[in-house]
Amino acid sequence: MKLEEIYQNVIDGQAPAVQAGVAAALAEGMKADAILNQALIAAMDEVGRRFEAGDFFVPEMLIAARAMQAGLALLKPHLADAEVKSAGKVAIGTIKGDLHDIGKNLVAMMLEGAGFEVKDLGVDVAPETFVQAAKSGVRVIGMSALLTTTMPNMQRTIEALSNAGVRDKVKVIVGGAPVTEDYAKRIGADAFAPDASSATRVIRKLVS
Ligand code: B12
């Protein structure tokens, strides 16, 4: 069965096979939202479960995420037709002074896999850029930090959102290796998640 093959190939990180499977399924007239939900998203949910259980590590998760994205790229033009409801808009970036982006990219990929519209602001993102994103109508702002030296820029960004009068328009979630639940609370963020799969779960809750 085609959807099961796509599902398994995402978990195995076989990007070319995922693309071939998605192309074949579309050619057979299968609905884009069925391919998205029953194969791609279902597979990433399973990848997230395996990661949380300690059966998958970051490399497997990244390779699976790339395979999922390869399939997603083919589906995107058809999804607009199928009118798949976006789960919400999220802007995500690595804070000012910090160039680490592997974890941030992983979170962005998992969110896309879960049906969110993701605006990737990149790395070394100034507070003003997050403010612009908040003004553009995103519902969630995600900030990533890997360096303890520049971590305080998360708090500066939250202050900038307040000063610009848009703090209550968005939910703010923070993450990155040195970031903790306690730190998130102290700087006035709405949420924290320790990894990409739980980030998706927490953000689903934030926008529901
Ligand atoms: C790869 C790496 C680099 C690469 C980055 C490549 C890239 N494109 O990202 C390079 C080589 C460029 C680099 C540079 C530097 N690095 Co570096 N780097 C790392 C390393 C080894 C791995 C980071 C990583 O990608 N982990 C894998 C990802 C998947 O995990 P993650 O980022 O934690 O993300 C997960 C979660 O945290 C969470 N998450 C992440 N972001 C977000 C966001 C949200 C909203 C949510 C909810 C969740 C979430 O989900 C992710 C997936 O599960 C770490 C060591 C480590 N073990 O962390 C050091 C480390 C972060 N680096 C460090 C340092 C010091 C540097 C440099 C200053 C080195 C130097 N002297 O030049 C520079 C800084 C450059 C800069 N200005 O940013 C230190 C930081 C120490 C500290 N206390 O601050 C570390 C800890 C190494 C060490 N032990 O000393 N680095």
- At 106-158, the pLDDT tens digits run 899 889 888 899 999 999 999 999 999 999 989 999 999 999 999 999 999 99
* Atom 91 of ligand 1, nearest CA residue: 100
Q: Which of 62, 92, 100, 143 to mutate to test the pocket of ligand 1 (most atoms within 8 A of CB)?
A: 100
Ligand 1 pocket: which residues have CB below 6 Å? 58, 98-104, 106-107, 142-144, 146-149, 173-177, 193, 195-196, 199
> What percent of the chain has a predicted confidence (pLDDT) above 70?
97
The closest residue, in CA terms, to atom 64 on ligand 1 is: 147
- Residue 196 has what pLDDT? 84
Pocket test for ligand 1, best of 44, 109, 146, 171 (most atoms within 8 A of CB): 146
161 token code pair: 């959102």
Residue nearest to atom 88 of ligand 1 (CA): 147
The number of the ligand 1 atom at minimal distance from the alpha carbon of 150 is 84
pLDDT for 208 equals 86
Q: What is the pTM of this model?
A: 0.84
Find the 103 Cα to ligand 1 centroid distance in Å: 8
The residue among 174 and 106 whose pLDDT is bigger is: 174
Tokens matching residue 111: 């969110």
Supply the residue whose CA is at minimum distance from atom 65 of ligand 1.
147
Q: What is the DSSP letter of 115?
A: T
C-alpha 24, offset from chain centre: 27
CA–centroid distance, residue 76 to ligand 1 (Å): 31
The mean pLDDT of 91-104, rounded to a whole number, is: 95
Determine the Cα angle at 51 with ends 22 and 175, to 5°. Answer: 100
3 state SS of 144: strand
- The 10 Å Cβ neighbour count of residue 103 is 20
Looking at ligand 1, which atom is closest to the CA of residue 148?
84
Of the listed ranges 14-28, 121-135, 190-204, the least confidently predicted one is 190-204
Among the listed residues 23, 28, 16, 48, the one whose alpha carbon sits nearest the alpha carbon of residue 199: 48
Question: Mean pLDDT highest for which of 49-53, 77-81, 142-146?
Answer: 142-146
Atom in ligand 1 nearest the alpha carbon of residue 191: 47
Which pLDDT band holds residue 84 (cuts at 50, 70, 90)? low
The arithmetic mean of pLDDT across residues 1-10, rounded, is: 93
Residues 6+ apart with CB under 8 A from 62: 102, 106
